[in-house]
Amino acid sequence: MDLELQGKRALVTGSSKGIGEAIARTLAREGAIVIVHGRDRESAERVASSIIAQGGQAHVVIGNLTQDDAVERLVAEAETLAGTVEILVNNAGGSGGVKESWENTQLSSWSSAYDRNVLAALRVTTRVLPKMRQTKWGRIINISSLAATLPPPTGPDYSACKAAMNAMTASLAKAVAADGITVNAVSPGTIRSAALEDRFREVAKERGMGDGDLPWKEIERAVLPMFAQVPLGRVGELDEIANMIAFLASPLAAYITGINLRIDGGLSPSL
């Protein structure tokens, strides 16, 4: 299927690794001009160079999304390098690496998480939105999490931030619908990453499954039920997230806006 993304200009925040990298690569394969963003230039350049080597078009911008002036600079640089941003994927953010419980959660953690996730997305969005409205076309996709609708007992700051992103998505979608702009959220469930695979192999080793060096499918089958009851019986792959985002970013998805699309293998118990 031709997604009609040829020549579309896409800024993917936090795309120097993980889900963001997969999104950037997929959009580039579909013909989009991708602006790779990160805080580490070497990592971002690696992704962009790989995209270019495979026949795609990519540029790099660097900046801390928790700083207003840095966001101003990187958006201006993106526009200089590629032109007006037509597709924005707000992927940067995350839990920060420390999962707190309600016994030790700190106000500072909530503030930092909100800045890193919600306000970071807001800073970039408000800077690219005016030109989208002028051209009467745009796609904004916010990477949320299943934790927003199925919050676990730990990491309450992260769950609350992603819930806020869902609300932001619904509100903005209504505000810009008449301008030809769609705004959607995507909530990944349990997705295979280097960190997740390392953790699964560590658990497998603790459970006596050799040195954790068994084939991935065996590790996945044995360890996944300890983490999540996924009806499909496996974790999701990065490309499965990226492919759906590419569709939402395309002209073919023009009548889809204001949704939170869960990609979780059936883990969520509700529609």
Distance CA 212, CA 124 (A): 41
Question: CB within 8 A of 244, min separation 6: which ones?
Answer: 186, 261, 263
DSSP bridge pairs for 87: 10, 139
Distance CA 144, CA 105 (A): 21
Catalytic residue among 12, 158, 166, 264: 158
The residue assigned the tokens 């619904």 is 170
SS3 category, 122: helix
Handedness of CA 45, 47, 50, 51 (dihedral sign): negative
Beta 9-12 vs 33-38: how paired, if at all? parallel
Distance CA 60, CA 26 (A): 16
Q: Quick check: is 158 catalytic?
A: yes
| Residue positions annotated with a catalytic role | 158
